[in-house]
Amino acid sequence: MKIAILGGAGLMGAGIVRDLISDRAIVPISAIRVADVSRARIDALSAELGDSRLAAFELDVNNPARLADAVSGVDIVINAVPTLLGHQMAIFEACLAAGVTYTDLGGLGTYTVRQKAMHERFRSAGVAAVIGTGADPGMSNVICRAVADQLDTIERINLYWAAELVGPENPVLVPPYSISTVLAEYARPSIQFLDGRHQECGAMTGHEVVDLPEPWGRAEFMYSPHSEQLTVPLADGIREKGIREFTWKLHLPHREHEAWVGLVKAGFGDFDDPVTVSGASVRPLDFLSALIARNMERYRDRIPAQDSHEIHFAVGAGTRAGKPATARCEVVVRPDPLYDDYVDAATSMNASIAAQLLLAGAAKPGVWAPEEIFDVPAYLDEVRRRGLQVSLTVA
């Protein structure tokens, strides 16, 4: 099998490459095209990993001919280019034109509706596309399907993701993932599925406190823009069970949460809207990214060792065998030496799982969300193989 990873030497792309070449491979892989705007990053990753299957491909996504070459001659394209850079639809269309199976990491639901609207074009062309296949979205969609499959009727499914850091307090703000993504999660309204229909909800609304085991403890959640709520309640096997509510909520570590709230209050939520400084036009995002990077480098000796703990869980309420029932599926990610070389192991590993399961036979023509296409037990078995803790209960 031949795989192309666009953005393959970036933070998430490099992690996907690591999982693909590991002993956890699901399908035989003969070649991995690492396409990235930075040849230096590609070469550094290739030198570090030392795998002869890696092939460098310098890519400017703004060059249509170069993009067409990047997605041709492979069995699947994994789009790991950051969503908010705005290239998602161009890459999506390029894979359709090339007749190549496509998957991406999603990204706040920014393009989800537009991509789903192209289902018939992909189906007619015999091309498969699965959108949002990281951890959230991706694995999160699958655990929602696991919950839905335990219920005969569904009143609601509520999906949560929480992260917590254990160790000395960090005096330096270290973003958990893309700065633009975090700012968007805090500053932009979201679409939630309430009272049987999609509704817009304000930024940082939907406040809910949930008591979780340590180290999360009493966790405060809020609505956040994501793609799961745009697809899960509409999926076959879920929609017809009568679902009236589906929400997605976020909890970042307590002190970091306060920092991001403060940045949004200061105006960084409008991160693409330039401001004029001494006669020069500057995007707030560019300034903040440069400042945070400089701060992390300047004070790197002050950044303490911290263990990151994540919990992803879906709770569904409805009926089972004619009686009220609650189903809960959760995935816990705790520190493990296996994850040391990853920026976000859960996201990278799940993108690798999804792509390989598609290559193994799950793919079918059309545009799909993960809950519509993956076999839940097979998928969760691969998650467990990567050291993540999975549980499914019904009460």
Classify residue 357: in a domain, yes or no. yes
Q: What are the angstrom distances between the C-alpha of 341 and each of 3, 177, 335, 337, 384?
A: 21, 15, 12, 8, 19
Residues 15 and 108 grouped into a single domain = yes
DSSP assigned state of 138 = B
Number of structural domains the chain divides into: 2
Residues 328 and 361 grouped into a single domain = no
Is the per-residue pLDDT at 100 higher than 80? yes
The parent domain of residue 40 ranges over 2-135+344-385
Residues 124 and 156 grouped into a single domain = no
> Rounded mean pLDDT of 301-321?
96
Classify residue 115: in a domain, yes or no. yes
Classify residue 10: in a domain, yes or no. yes
- Percentage helix, strand, coil, to 5, in the chain? 40, 30, 35
Residues 41 and 157 grouped into a single domain = no
Residues 111 and 147 grouped into a single domain = no
Q: What is the CATH number of the domain that holds 275?
A: 3.30.360.10
> Rounded mean pLDDT of 238-250?
98
Classify residue 53: in a domain, yes or no. yes
What is the C-alpha to C-alpha distance for residues 374 and 361, in angstroms, rounded to an integer?
Answer: 10
What pLDDT score was predicted for residue 107? Answer: 76
Specify the pTM: 0.94
Strands 190-194 and 197-201: antiparallel
Classify residue 285: in a domain, yes or no. yes
Over residues 179-217, the pLDDT tens digits come to 988 999 999 999 999 999 999 999 999 999 999 999 999
What pLDDT score was predicted for residue 254? Answer: 87
Residues 118 and 199 grouped into a single domain = no
Inter-residue contact 303 to 292 (CB < 8 Å)? no
Classify residue 26: in a domain, yes or no. yes
Is the per-residue pLDDT at 257 higher than 80? yes
Residues 375 and 247 grouped into a single domain = no
Q: What is the CATH number of the domain that holds 52?
A: 3.40.50.720
Residues 25 and 174 grouped into a single domain = no
What pLDDT score was predicted for residue 83? Answer: 84
Domain finish residue from 327, 342, 357: 342
Residues 254 and 182 grouped into a single domain = yes
What is the C-alpha to C-alpha distance for residues 85 and 62, in angstroms, rounded to an integer?
Answer: 11
Residues 128 and 144 grouped into a single domain = no
Classify residue 305: in a domain, yes or no. yes
Residues 103 and 172 grouped into a single domain = no
Residues 182 and 212 grouped into a single domain = yes
Inter-residue contact 105 to 323 (CB < 8 Å)? no
What is the C-alpha to C-alpha distance for residues 157 and 167, in angstroms, rounded to an integer?
Answer: 33
Over residues 9-64, the pLDDT tens digits come to 998 999 999 999 999 999 999 999 999 999 999 999 999 999 999 999 999 999 99
Classify residue 175: in a domain, yes or no. yes
Is the per-residue pLDDT at 289 higher than 90? yes
